[in-house]
Amino acid sequence: MHRGAHSWLHRKHSYACQKLVEQFAELTNTDEALAQFYLQDRDWNLERSVNAFFEAKKEEDEMKALQVDEESEIMVTFNSKLVSVMEKGVLTEEAPKNFCFLTWNIDGLDEKNLKKRTKAVAKIIEREKADIVFLQEVIANTLTYLEQLLPQFLFLAGDTEDYFIVTLLRRTTVYFDGQTVVPFANTCMGRNLLCVENKLFLAQAHIGDLKLHLLNSHLESTGEFAKQRVEQLRTGFTKMKDGPAGVTTLFGGDLNLRDKEVVAAGMPQGVVDLWEACGQRPECKWTWDTARNSNKEFPGRFKPRLRFDRVYQHTPSSSTLSAVPLHFGLVGLQKVINTQSFPSDHWGIIVHFEMVLRVGSWNVLSLSDDRRLPLLSGELSRLRVDIVGLSEMRRPGSGETSSGGYTYYWSGMSNGHREPYTKLKDLTCAHEYAVVVSNRINVLGALEDNVELWDTFKRETLQTAKECIGERPRSRRGFVATETLENIEESRTARHARNQDQYGSLSRRTRTLLRKDKERYVRNLAEDVEGHLNANALRPAYRALKKLRSKSPSRASAIRAADERLVSDMEGNGSIHGECILLSAPHSLSGWTSQSSCRPPAARTLSSLTGTASVAMPLASRLFCPQPSAAALGCLSDGLKLARGPPLLEAQ
């Protein structure tokens, strides 16, 4: 276009805008600056701009005055309806500990009793004290009416043509950050995904720590558009999975889903269906139920019932707070007063959440192998633990590492040696120990009795070690609980006091507690073996497996066999070859494992630790077994065979 033509069009546009400014100022009795402010925001539409000016002026008619001092007065203006709602609330600086979520297709396309039904929807929203509301099938008339009925909510519309989706945020509890409309590329009905990012907080308080990513959507309807609906659902799942770190995502609305379509879309790991998470109550399953809801009439005896409306949640492992669903229910189950209509042909879904910080502790036995970190992180994520204190990490020095959305911090000893050994490496301590031992041994020459000489040497050596090196506390069996030890102490006290009745009762209780402690110990060993197997940590898995099948060491170890070898030595030789044996469970051991968990045993296979053999055995996920008898151990020994080649026994 010619440069002169551009100049002419520019002058014409400027002249038209100036005329609109002058007309606005004349109609409203204001200046041109205010006229430009209103006109520019409304695409230079004079009628819309004038109407907006007078509506704003009408809302400013009601004012509240706050007296600051005797000489000055500050006037603060509010919407009158909003003021009346705010006055009913209680101001506090504490962050909310729970919130209420509601999603509902309000069927704005059905003109029958539309105004009464819309008013009933607004009453239910307020009665349930919902903080976040997803609405579908909203039209312009119902949107205007809802804004009048619910001034305490911030309305966010995905679109304002035909029918659309709207997200409502309660002004006193939810802080709005921003919104994004994501259109579906394959939509046949103009559907889109309204994405609202916000943070919860209470009025006149700082922003809360719970971050939310809200996805309100109305997916494609009818069975013939199943393919498009699956693609749209996959888009929503992708938005959930790829959300910002530390943000809890809620995705819901009238999704028009069938269960097979969810399987086809592939629900990502960490995403849960809140109906399923809250117990799958059958009375809350069908949200479009023509057998109970008469708004839509279906001829014949068949009345379709479907779970069209759904809510999904994704909670990241790195979030500061977790939103835990407490209750899942339906609303809109009663007909509107003075009508034969329900508020909508859909039931609304209401979910109550509690905001919690999950803190725990765990004795992990060892994290020296980095391959165990993903397994531990996966378990913490499954349990939705936010902060956990780990003991016995067995990592020297201090440092940090990340795995599975968690960051691990540790601070341990400078090396993995035990304290006495470390002290002996200190030359000063070693010299002191040598001097003291030498002085005490020098006096032993005067002793003529060999027994007295040995006892004195042993006593003096141990006493010197205690003084120079320090004494480690005597270790106890790992499966004895603190409660059992306290009960043993009480039993000992009763025996010294010659209280036979109390002693007998406490002894029986001690035996019961020891049996339970041992069962718990065996069960933990079985779970430890499974954990090593899942992490493909073969060597620690085999060590734990040997613990699981071995009996407790006997105190009477100086027993000789026919070949003059100590029994304890033969047991030791057997353990030396423990890493190159092929283990199978004999059928005669079925009595020993009869108290195993009712779940079917999982077949586990260990690759060869030496490169020449493999180990295979069925391992119950949780074992509850007593100490095996001598006969059972004999059968187990018969099942141990030396393997020199690659064949592998299959788990039975």
| Average pLDDT rounded to a whole number, residues 603-622 | 33
Q: Is the pLDDT of residue 447 over 80?
A: no
Q: Do 409 and 426 fall within a single domain?
A: no
Nearest of 597, 545, 552, 594 to residue 571 by alpha carbon: 552
Domain boundary residue among 374, 390, 413?
413
The verdict on residue 482 lying in a domain is no
Confidence of residue 79 (pLDDT cuts 50, 70, 90): low
Which of 324-328, 454-458, 603-607 is least confident?
Answer: 603-607
Q: Do 349 and 370 fall within a single domain?
A: no
| Average pLDDT rounded to a whole number, residues 599-625 | 33
Q: Do 301 and 242 fall within a single domain?
A: yes
What are residue 362's DSSP bridge partners? 390
The verdict on residue 109 lying in a domain is yes
Q: What is the pLDDT of residue 550?
A: 59
More confident residue, 484 or 350: 350
The verdict on residue 38 lying in a domain is yes
More confident residue, 154 or 124: 124
| Average pLDDT rounded to a whole number, residues 78-100 | 62
Q: Which range of residues forms the domain containing residue 595?
A: 493-552+575-642
pLDDT, tens digit (0-9, with 9 covering 90-100), for 490-519: 888 888 888 888 888 998 998 898 888 888
| Average pLDDT rounded to a whole number, residues 434-445 | 71
The verdict on residue 563 lying in a domain is no
**How many angstroms separate the CA atoms of 158 and 187, rounded?**
15
How many CB atoms within 10 Å of residue 429?
Answer: 16
Which of 69-78, 215-224, 366-375 is least confident?
Answer: 69-78
Q: Do 449 and 522 fall within a single domain?
A: no
| Average pLDDT rounded to a whole number, residues 259-276 | 89
Confidence of residue 328 (pLDDT cuts 50, 70, 90): very high
What are residue 398's DSSP bridge partners? 411
- Inter-CA distances, 331 with 349, 350, 394, Å: 6, 7, 54
More confident residue, 645 or 165: 165
Largest CA distance in the chain: 129
3-state SS class at 173: coil
The verdict on residue 478 lying in a domain is no
| Average pLDDT rounded to a whole number, residues 548-569 | 46
Q: Is the pLDDT of residue 133 over 90?
A: yes
Q: Do 399 and 299 fall within a single domain?
A: no
Beta strands in 453-592, from DSSP E residues, in sequence order: 581-583
**How many angstroms separate the CA atoms of 288 and 345, rounded?**
7
More confident residue, 580 or 263: 263
Q: What is the pLDDT of residue 92?
A: 56
Confidence of residue 443 (pLDDT cuts 50, 70, 90): low
Q: Which two tokens stand for residue 597?
A: 């968990």
pLDDT, tens digit (0-9, with 9 covering 90-100), for 388-406: 888 777 777 777 888 877 7
Which of 236-245, 545-554, 619-628 is least confident?
Answer: 619-628
- Active-site positions? 254
Q: Do 182 and 253 fall within a single domain?
A: yes
Nearest of 482, 484, 493 to residue 511 by alpha carbon: 484
Domain boundary residue among 452, 468, 484?
468
Which of 339-343, 381-385, 422-426, 432-436 is least confident?
Answer: 422-426
Confidence of residue 65 (pLDDT cuts 50, 70, 90): very low
Q: What is the pLDDT of residue 578?
A: 33
Q: Is the pLDDT of residue 319 over 90?
A: no
Give the type of residue at 607.
S
| Average pLDDT value over all residues in the chain | 71
The torsion angles phi and psi of 67, rounded to 5 degrees, stand at -80, 115
Q: Is the pLDDT of residue 474 over 80?
A: no
Q: What is the pLDDT of residue 312?
A: 94
Q: Which helix (H) or strand (E) holds 73?
A: strand 73-77
**How many angstroms separate the CA atoms of 136 and 235, rounded?**
18
Q: Highest mean pLDDT: which of 52-56, 326-330, 355-359? A: 326-330
More confident residue, 325 or 401: 325
Helices (H), 60-151: 80-86, 114-127, 140-149
Q: What is the pLDDT of residue 63?
A: 38
Q: Is the pLDDT of residue 562 over 90?
A: no
Nearest of 219, 211, 271, 218 to residue 240 by alpha carbon: 271
Q: What is the pLDDT of residue 130?
A: 93
Confidence of residue 612 (pLDDT cuts 50, 70, 90): very low
| Average pLDDT rounded to a whole number, residues 419-434 | 58
Q: What is the pLDDT of residue 379?
A: 82
Q: Do 252 and 384 fall within a single domain?
A: no
Q: Is the pLDDT of residue 132 over 60?
A: yes
The verdict on residue 310 lying in a domain is yes
Domain boundary residue among 8, 40, 59?
59
Which of 216-220, 353-357, 377-381, 640-644 is least confident?
Answer: 640-644
Confidence of residue 313 (pLDDT cuts 50, 70, 90): very high
Q: Do 38 and 181 fall within a single domain?
A: no
- Number of domains making up the chain: 5
CATH number at residue 25: 1.10.8.10
Which of 111-115, 131-135, 229-233, 466-470 is least confident?
Answer: 466-470
The verdict on residue 7 lying in a domain is no
Q: Do 505 and 635 fall within a single domain?
A: yes
Q: Is the pLDDT of residue 211 over 80?
A: yes
Q: Do 350 and 376 fall within a single domain?
A: no
**How many angstroms separate the CA atoms of 49 and 37, rounded?**
9
More confident residue, 616 or 107: 107
Instruction: Classify burial at 217, counting beta carbons within 10 Å of its beta carbon; exposed 0-12, middle 13-18, buried 19 or more.
Output: buried
- The percent of residues in the chain predicted with pLDDT above 70, rounded, is 64
Q: Which two tokens stand for residue 414?
A: 């400078």
Confidence of residue 129 (pLDDT cuts 50, 70, 90): very high
Q: Do 271 and 148 fall within a single domain?
A: yes
Q: Which helix (H) or strand (E) holds 310?
A: strand 309-314
The verdict on residue 329 lying in a domain is yes
Instruction: Classify burial at 384, counting beta carbons within 10 Å of its beta carbon; exposed 0-12, middle 13-18, buried 19 or more.
Output: middle
Q: What is the pLDDT of residue 352?
A: 93
Q: Do 271 and 315 fall within a single domain?
A: yes
Task: Report the chain's terminal Cα–Cα distance, integer Å.
Answer: 86
